Amino acid sequence: MLYHKLIATGRNLVIFLALLAGVASLQLSRLQTLQRPGDDYAQIEIDSQVRLDGLRLQLLKQLPSLGFRNLIANWTFLDFLQYFGKTELRERNNYRLSPAYFRVIVDRDPWFLRPYIFLSNSVSMYAGQPDVSVALMEQGLQSMTPTLPPRSYFVWRYKGIDELLFLGDGMAAQQSFEMAAEWARQSPDPESDAIAQVSQQTAQFLSQNPVSREAQIGAWAEVYLRAVDDKGRQIAREKIEALGGEIVVSEGGRVSVQYRASESQGPQDSR
């Protein structure tokens, strides 16, 4: 029986690698185009690259897993990082492929937490589709528990931030932060107590005022901390300042938010 299982696994691996080679050939074609000296990203080339990326994503979506779902999710995330790293390319195509990357990863491996940080930002803040980001996080959460995968409570926080800042739905955000607090309290993770406390505090702010300035500033502070590029940090800083706060970075690198003198609140520690 073990022999037959090993044979089947080996056969699946060969088939999977052959299929993946087809995706890799598209990846190589894309890199050769993007890395040409003096490339100024003419619009016709932008459109061509978007079509190529879309085709590769479609292949990844339809690729039979054959027991390698995690590998497909990892491959897709690495591909997204290359896409996101080409600033001019992604800005000129309006980040339109970000939702497709997010969808493939959640479909293949909803426990893969790292992409949620990158893709919730990219889909909500840059691609302007927070409803899609929230829906995909809801899908991923259906496969999670308070303890598995470790630190799963963060996905509830990301969802609450998108609902509050990009959908303007304070009531939904309150529920998400309450769930983040509940899951964090059940988690053995060392930082879970602090996350439970801050999540419950945000939910309390929102229960009293669905458009709470304190909750919005706190949410933008988290966006600032987990931003993956300077543009994201600049957007978050501007939003915090517009709400009456200020980002302060200590000599030791600790980030906090201080309210202006005209505001009645004290400093809010963010890291």
Q: What percent of the chain has pLDDT over 90?
A: 48
Average pLDDT over residues 176-195: 97
Q: Which residue has the tokens 């419950």?
A: 200
**Does position 250 have pLDDT exceeding 90, yes or no?**
no
Better-predicted residue by pLDDT, 91 or 254: 254
Confidence of residue 42 (pLDDT cuts 50, 70, 90): low
Over 80: is that where the pLDDT of 115 sits?
Answer: yes
For the stretch 30-64, what's the b/e string if a residue is b when 16 or more beta carbons lie within 10 angstroms of its beta carbon?
beeebeeeeeeeeeeebeebbeebeebbeebeebe
Task: Find the angle CA(126)-CA(128)-CA(133) to the nearest 5 degrees.
Answer: 95
Task: Give me the pLDDT at residue 118, please.
Answer: 92
- Predicted pLDDT of residue 16: 43
Q: DSSP readout, 158-182?
A: HHHHHHHHTS--HHHHHHHHHHHHH
Q: Which two tokens stand for residue 208?
A: 């009293």
State the chain's mean pLDDT as an integer. 81
Residue 183: closest CA among 211, 162, 214, 160: 160
- DSSP 8-state class, residue 113: -
| Band of pLDDT at residue 30, cut at 50, 70 and 90 | very low
14's tokens: 């060969």
Between 174 and 44, the more confident residue is 174
